Structure 1
Amino acid sequence: MLIEGPVEITLPDGGVVRSDRFMVAVCQCGRSARYPWCDTSHRRVPPRSRRGSGSA
């Protein structure tokens, strides 16, 4: 997700991270090594399988 910066994000543990960039990519998949910032890890790792997606 792209957000116009600067951005300040409060993490679930209460920590705060900040970016002064004019455009920020925020991780939504949880795979980023730079969480909460997107590092495009979602492009390198196959998507997780969905439950119940098999044939019945």
Structure 2
Amino acid sequence: MVRRDGDEMVNSVEIKCTKDGPNLVIVDGNVVTAMCRCGASANKPLCDGAHRKHNFKAEEKTIKIV
């Protein structure tokens, strides 16, 4: 979908909290970024995979924004 000003319109946004991993920001079905939720990333707020070294545990959940 495209708005009148030519910018693309976002149809859906969701946050997928992965099991034992990062929060994935998904826009129109495409992963846009992975956000740290373990607190150990050296590249905060982005995930750098540090959760694997620190044995981070968390439940999986999806949050629909739009």
| TM-score interval, smaller chain | 0.3 to 0.5
- Could you state the TM-score of these two structures normalised by the residue count of structure 2? 0.40
> With CA pairs under 8 Å and 6+ residues apart, which has the higher RCO, 1 or 2?
2
Choose between structure 1 and 2: higher strand proportion.
Answer: 2
- Could you state the TM-score of these two structures normalised by the residue count of structure 1? 0.46
